[in-house]
Chain A
Amino acid sequence: MTATAGRQSADDPRVTLDEQVGVFEPVPPYPPRTEREAEFYTLGDGEMFINMGPQHPSTHGVLRVVLKLDGEKVVDLDPVLGYLHRGVEKLCENADYHQTISQVDPLEYVSSLFNEWSPVMAYEKLLDVEVPRRAEYIRVLSGELNRIASHALFMGWMALDLGGLTPILWSFIERDEIVEMLAALTGQRMLFNYFRIGGVNGDLNHDFMSRLGDWMTRAAEQIDASLGLLNSNEIFVRRMRDLGTIDSQTALRMCMTGPNLRATGLPFDIRRAHPYSIYPELDFDIPTRNEGDCLARYLLRIDEIKQSLRIIDQCLHRMPDGPIIAKLPRLLRPRPGRAYAAVEGPRGQYSVYAISDGTDQPFRLRIHDPSFIHLQSVGLLMPGHLIADTMAVMASLDPIMGGVDK
């Protein structure tokens, strides 16, 4: 369809459009606003721009990346965000404390429990609430299950972005089992809305426990089996090795966290660096790798799945009895104050900075999302690589656009 001046809008026939829409020009139609933009949108000898996205299957959401190319080599890139921006922080400021939990849920829709965990922890600090121990165990148990589901899906995506279609079907087997399990526990398949201020929404039930027990007996083998598809695939391994390498100091300067930081050799994990919940009592390792390339980031997530299985095992054996939620009034009015809470999610640090002014709505809720931070280092990793490797590097950093755009 060609866009001509003066045609009717498809959205609303009463509106006449006098400009072209639906065509994404790589070069913006206005003069550069910053030093960096001026530098980026100036073409050197033999260079060209190409638009990737906003609806590109490998961008894990709606992301547009303007690539500056020299032949097939990427010289520089400029990610354009905002296509999924919903203003969740503003919505949270206009909702009461309980409602914000469901507002933050769809941010990172692959691992929703971690989105809920950090604000809930921040509110508990504001209110000086002690969470019952059973609730903490259930949180860790469900959280680690969600971590495995997220990492399992990552493995499939990773291969899909490199052009392999089979692994994603295999990884969906794993993910579906866990998602069905969590649906039995929380009532939802994806956006769980399960954590409550002071505890969780429902106790463990028979459906969940029988599914979990059934899955735990064969989880380790099943994951190993689906990994055989990729780990021994020479094309996959050789393409990933030495691609998008980042060293630990640069990763720290880029504010990276989670598996992407640990793949550079730094054992930084919020669960150990700044312990929360019951993690100090649990016995698990923090896997690290020293290479810092795409392969290391991929293999590290597999190691993490194994550690998560260990944690789930311990949770099941130590699960205490007792209440699952602290007694709190329906309408919460925390004392004026500030609280910061961070949790270690499958992609890195999720954190929330909450300010209370004494009313039933948060005065300010700052949501920090790891995908947002990791996506900006694509620009650092890509120069010099081939255009096709953009997807590989981006997939190995594992950003979710719902979280990037908030």
Chain B
Amino acid sequence: MDRLFRRRVEARFADRFTGPVRQRHDETEIRIGPADVPDVLRTLHDDPELRFTYLSDLAGVDTGVVMQVVYHLWSDVTPDWLRVIADGLPRDDPRVPSVTFLWKGAEWMEREAYDMFGITFEGNRDLRRIYMPPDYTSFPLRKDFYLADDAARSPGGGVRPMEQPHTPQEATVATALRRIRS
């Protein structure tokens, strides 16, 4: 835990925080609102005293109540990972500005978060599904997507012949009962 770094971050962005700064093991965690993402990340990236030039990871998270986008950054000024959580995205229409203007490589990570959670990254010029078929409409990593049932029910289910859901004729209640009786 880098307490000095924590004080520096607090002095710099205190007015942007939407939650307490947390530190555990080798991680420092800050929470900001989605609208502040471009500003805060640009400052972290460009400031010669912060130098967070390396985006280690970009993840979408569904807490069941709100959506989050989590950025992990690395810099040589601190031995900690910096975790920036863009918190409080509404689940029915999660939107957050894209960071592709800083890291072009975030494009596919944002596409993945869009594909899996339905989070719209405003400013990403290639925001389409990356893993799932193009006409798929569910978002598989959301907490209200259950494994077996939803996959069979989801409108994308009939896209490929192998995934075509069909009800075998012999599986009706009547035939099952007949089989038991005979």
User: A14 and B54: CB pair below 8 A?
Assistant: no
Residue of B nearest to A17 (CB): B161
Residue of B nearest to A276 (CB): B26
User: A340 and B140: CB pair below 8 A?
Assistant: no
User: B140 and A254: CB pair below 8 A?
Assistant: no
Residue of B nearest to A352 (CB): B57
- How far, in angstroms, from A406 to B115 measured CA to CA in the complex? 13
Contact with B along A230-271 (1 / 0, CB 8 A): 000000000000000000000011111000000000001000
User: B130 and A36: CB pair below 8 A?
Assistant: no
Contact flag A353-B72 (CB < 8 Å), given A9-B161, A11-B161, A34-B128: yes
Which of B56, B59, B126, B135 sits near A342, CB closer than 8 Å?
B56
Residue of B nearest to A251 (CB): B105
In the complex, 21 of the A-B residue pairs with CB atoms within 8 angstroms, ordered by the A residue number, are A9-B164, A15-B161, A21-B160, A34-B128, A37-B126, A37-B128, A82-B130, A89-B116, A125-B25, A255-B109, A274-B81, A339-B27, A340-B57, A340-B72, A351-B56, A351-B72, A353-B72, A364-B61, A373-B108, A376-B105, A406-B131
User: A376 and B161: CB pair below 8 A?
Assistant: no
Q: Does B106 contact A (CB under 8 A)?
A: yes
User: B131 and A337: CB pair below 8 A?
Assistant: no
- How far, in angstroms, from A256 to B108 measured CA to CA in the complex? 12
A367 to chain B, nearest CB (A): 9
A87 to chain B, nearest CB (A): 6
User: B161 and A21: CB pair below 8 A?
Assistant: yes
Tally of contact residues, A, Cβ under 8 A:
52
* Chain A residues whose CB sits within 8 angstroms of the CB of B81 once the complex forms: 274, 340, 342
User: B141 and A28: CB pair below 8 A?
Assistant: no
Which of B57, B126, B162, B166 sits near A366, CB closer than 8 Å?
B57
Q: Does A349 contact B (CB under 8 A)?
A: yes
B180 to chain A, nearest CB (A): 25
A22 to chain B, nearest CB (A): 10
A interface with B by C-beta (< 8 Å): 9-12, 14-15, 17, 21, 28, 30, 33-37, 81-82, 85, 87, 89-90, 93-94, 125, 252-256, 268, 273-274, 337-340, 342, 349, 351, 353, 355, 364, 366, 368, 372-373, 375-377, 380, 405-406
User: B24 and A337: CB pair below 8 A?
Assistant: yes
User: A11 and B162: CB pair below 8 A?
Assistant: yes
Other contacts beyond A12-B166, A33-B128: 4, CB < 8 A: A15-B161, A82-B133, A125-B25, A342-B56
- How far, in angstroms, from A373 to B54 measured CA to CA in the complex? 13
Contact flag A34-B126 (CB < 8 Å), given A28-B134, A255-B106, A340-B72: yes
- How far, in angstroms, from A12 to B163 measured CA to CA in the complex? 10
* Chain A residues whose CB sits within 8 angstroms of the CB of B135 once the complex forms: 30
* Chain B residues whose CB sits within 8 angstroms of the CB of A368 once the complex forms: 56-57, 59
* Chain A residues whose CB sits within 8 angstroms of the CB of B130 once the complex forms: 81-82
Residue of A nearest to B126 (CB): A36
* Majority DSSP secondary structure for residues of A touching B: mixed
Q: Does B9 contact A (CB under 8 A)?
A: no
* Chain B residues whose CB sits within 8 angstroms of the CB of A376 once the complex forms: 105, 107-108
B81 to chain A, nearest CB (A): 5
- How far, in angstroms, from A355 to B164 measured CA to CA in the complex? 34
A399 to chain B, nearest CB (A): 12
* Chain B residues whose CB sits within 8 angstroms of the CB of A366 once the complex forms: 57, 59, 61, 70
User: A90 and B127: CB pair below 8 A?
Assistant: no
Contact with A along B95-113 (1 / 0, CB 8 A): 0000000111111110010
User: B57 and A351: CB pair below 8 A?
Assistant: yes
What is the interface residue range for chain B against chain A? Answer: 35 or more
Q: Which 5 A-B pairs have the closest CB atoms?
A: A255-B105, A36-B126, A366-B59, A254-B105, A85-B131
A16 to chain B, nearest CB (A): 10
Chain B residues 130 to 158 lying within 8 A of chain A, measured CB to CB, are 130-135, 140-141, 145, 147
- Most chain B beta carbons < 10 A, residue from A10, A14, A353: A353
- How far, in angstroms, from A380 to B104 measured CA to CA in the complex? 10
User: B126 and A253: CB pair below 8 A?
Assistant: no
User: B108 and A36: CB pair below 8 A?
Assistant: no
User: A34 and B59: CB pair below 8 A?
Assistant: no
Q: Does B29 contact A (CB under 8 A)?
A: yes
User: A253 and B104: CB pair below 8 A?
Assistant: yes
A94 to chain B, nearest CB (A): 6
* Chain B residues whose CB sits within 8 angstroms of the CB of A82 once the complex forms: 129-133
Q: Does B76 contact A (CB under 8 A)?
A: yes
- How far, in angstroms, from A34 to B160 measured CA to CA in the complex? 23
* Chain B residues whose CB sits within 8 angstroms of the CB of A94 once the complex forms: 147
A92 to chain B, nearest CB (A): 11
* Chain B residues whose CB sits within 8 angstroms of the CB of A353 once the complex forms: 57, 59, 70, 72
* Chain A residues whose CB sits within 8 angstroms of the CB of B166 once the complex forms: 12, 14-15
- Most chain B beta carbons < 10 A, residue from A17, A85, A273, A366: A366
- How far, in angstroms, from A273 to B75 measured CA to CA in the complex? 9
* Chain B residues whose CB sits within 8 angstroms of the CB of A15 once the complex forms: 161, 164, 166
Residue of B nearest to A368 (CB): B57
* Chain A residues whose CB sits within 8 angstroms of the CB of B62 once the complex forms: 364
Q: Does B53 contact A (CB under 8 A)?
A: yes
- How far, in angstroms, from A371 to B105 measured CA to CA in the complex? 12
* Chain B residues whose CB sits within 8 angstroms of the CB of A268 once the complex forms: 54
- How far, in angstroms, from A21 to B133 measured CA to CA in the complex? 14
